[in-house]
Amino acid sequence: MFPIAPPQAHPATRLWQVERDGNPLRRFGHVSPFIGKLGPLDARSLDQIGLLVRAALPDLPEPTLVIGMTESSLLLAFFMARWQQKPVDLKFTTRKIRQSETKIAFREPHSHGPQHFLALEPGREYAQIVVIEDELTTGATLRNLLLALEHVSKRVFVATLRDLRPESMRDDLTNELGQRGIELETLALETLDVVLDETIKPLCPLFNPFGRMENDRLGALQALENEYTAFQPSAIYMIGECVDVALQFALLMPEEERPELRQVTRSPWKVDGEHVHNAQAFQAEGIGSRYFFYNFAAPSNNRALWLCEASNAAIGEQVQKFLESQGVESRGILVAGS
């Protein structure tokens, strides 16, 4: 039974319960309806989450590292980072090993999936790490990440939309990290009862959360700008983890001019008729994982751009064929470096 949110919960912290496909050990999952997986990305709601985290955090020590965990927390972390009162370093965990500039990869032994990585400068230390999650169910992934980063910072703040862990499990993690000299504070954002200061403006720095090589990042941004100007699509589809380039581009535009942003995700969910109304799966030879486009609706002018990592080019081609079958003209951009 999915717990009822507390009465003071901000609408932006809402989660939908979905049924996983093919995972009998974890039948149900929970997803924010605002991150572009089940409908268009809702930047206003994600901005509200950023403001909530800003209100919850004490004055940020410098330097602070903000981490978004693949896949569902990437967008949450991006919006959270751009609303902080001071510039922060934003990094995303990833399943891919990308070419990176003066970076090293920290392995995260995942509790129920492949290894994850985090691009960090060798020997870099931070006064504080801030991790944002959509939900905490067991905390196993979070634990593995923080243990891998114990030499990076001894102070960690975790913000999650909802904390579903038993009290004993929360205490166990806090105590284990405490024995290693790591101070951990966790806050479920749905429990906050605050008035948000909506007069402030986001910083919107030039994030490079995957540590992409600068030529790859700038080349992708330029290609996106060129195609957008020439093609004038009303939607941009981000395939897999390839969200950073599209967000950087779209959020610099006036809100009323932004295209619809959607994510083609690796999350396998069943069609339930409530939150998941239809699903289109994509799988290419040589790419083990399937990707899914949920609740497809044609963009307003039947033109769309899609972005994906170069290593996922075959998935991009399948997405383009699907869009063509739906009467949508599309063009693709491959982001180099993976």
Question: Residue ranges of the domains in the chain?
Answer: 11-191, 214-335
Q: Where are the alpha helices (DSSP H) in 116-213?
A: 140-148, 167-179
Residue with tokens 């700008």: 225
286 against 224, higher pLDDT? 224
**pLDDT (tens digit, 9 = 90+) per residue, 28-87?**
889 999 999 999 999 999 999 999 999 988 778 899 999 999 888 999 999 999 998 888
pLDDT computed for residue 110 by the predictor: 46
Return the CATH class of domain 214-335: alpha beta
pLDDT computed for residue 128 by the predictor: 96
Specify whether the CB–CB gap between 287 and 314 falls below 8 A: yes
Residue 1: pLDDT over 70: no
Region 134-139: what's the mean pLDDT? Answer: 89
Question: What's the chain's Rg over C-alpha atoms?
Answer: 19
Instruction: List phi, psi (to 5°) of 152.
Output: -90, -35
What's the pLDDT band for 170 if we cut at 50, 70, 90? Answer: very high
Can you name the CATH fold of 11-191?
A: Rossmann fold (3.40.50)
| Beta-bridge partner residues of 34 | none
79 three-class SS: helix
pLDDT computed for residue 206 by the predictor: 78
pLDDT computed for residue 104 by the predictor: 58
For residue 153, the tally of other CB atoms under 10 A from its CB is 21
Residue with tokens 């749905």: 190
Summary mean pLDDT of the chain: 90
Residue 97: pLDDT over 90: no
For residue 186, the tally of other CB atoms under 10 A from its CB is 19
Residue with tokens 């997986």: 37
Run of H or E residues at 136? strand 128-136
Q: How many CA atoms lie within 13 A of 310 on its CB side?
A: 12
Task: Give, in order, the Cα–Cα distances in Å from 320 to each of 172, 233, 238, 313, 331.
Answer: 47, 14, 12, 11, 7
| Beta-bridge partner residues of 333 | 307
Fold match between 11-191 and 214-335? yes
pLDDT computed for residue 24 by the predictor: 66
**pLDDT (tens digit, 9 = 90+) per residue, 102-136?**
565 555 554 445 678 888 888 899 999 999 999 99
107 three-class SS: strand
pLDDT computed for residue 131 by the predictor: 96
**pLDDT (tens digit, 9 = 90+) per residue, 199-239?**
888 876 679 999 899 999 999 999 999 999 999 999 999 99
Task: Give, in order, the Cα–Cα distances in Å from 240 to each of 94, 109, 162.
Answer: 10, 20, 24
What's the pLDDT band for 196 if we cut at 50, 70, 90? Answer: confident
